């Protein structure tokens, strides 16, 4: 069997394609690792070490990286924190007006529906007090049941 005269060209071309393929694969590994570690940690040293690990050891390095990398991404951590926060918010006991039982916020001083007095404001330190308290637990001032009169009430909430 006679060898083609321009065998060298074919071999060079095949080697070139193979080289380009290996290089693309290598670059892809590096880029993937770089992006992956940036999505998982803000620690610059860990980011550099992960990228160098894969750059030096290529595929085995990548395997080691995947085994030891942080388990969750920063985005997943953030999402979980948001979810936990919203659960905590839902677990907060809903306050109901003692008179009409409709839902009121913790810092309301009047029930907007039935105008029941829910809180008083301390004359001395201005914090909200329970109407049943005899003294202000924050500053020791004796609570005055008439202190509510000092607070301007919007016309739509005033008693008819």
Tell me how far CA of residue 28 lies from CA of 34, 40, 66, 97, in angstroms. Answer: 10, 18, 15, 62
CA 17, chain centre distance (Å): 46
For Zn ion, the closer of residues 12 and 103 by Cβ is 103
- Residue 136 found at the interface with Zn ion (CB under 5 A): yes
Stretch that binds Zn ion, among 2-10, 34-42, 45-53, 118-126 (CB under 5 A): 118-126
**b/e for 80-103, b at 16 or more Cβ within 10 A?**
eeeeeeeeeeeeeeeeebeeeeee
- Residue 110 found at the interface with Zn ion (CB under 5 A): no
- Residue 114 found at the interface with Zn ion (CB under 5 A): yes
- Residue 116 found at the interface with Zn ion (CB under 5 A): yes
For Zn ion, the closer of residues 63 and 139 by Cβ is 139
Token digits of residue 25: 């694969």
Return residues touching Zn ion (CB under 5 A).
97, 99-100, 111, 113-114, 116, 122, 124-125, 136, 138-139, 141
């Amino acid at each position: 069997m006679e060898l083609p005269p321009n065998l060298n060209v074919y071999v060079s071309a095949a080697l070139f394609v193979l080289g380009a393929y290996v290089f693309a694969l290598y670059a892809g590994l590096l880029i993937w690792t770089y992006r992956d570690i940036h999505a998982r940690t803000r620690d610059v040293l860990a980011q550099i070490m992960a990228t160098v690990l894969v750059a030096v050891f290529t595929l085995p390095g990548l395997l080691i990286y995947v085994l030891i990398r942080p388990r969750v991404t920063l985005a997943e951590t953030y999402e979980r924190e948001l979810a936990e926060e919203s659960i905590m918010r839902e677990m907060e006991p809903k306050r109901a007006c003692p008179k009409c039982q409709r839902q009121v916020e913790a810092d309301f001083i009047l029930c907007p529906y039935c105008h029941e007095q829910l809180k008083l404001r301390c004359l001395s330190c201005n914090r909200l007090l329970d109407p049943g308290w005899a003294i202000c637990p924050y500053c020791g001032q004796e609570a005055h049941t008439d202190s509510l009169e000092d607070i301007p009430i919007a016309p739509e909430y005033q008693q008819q």
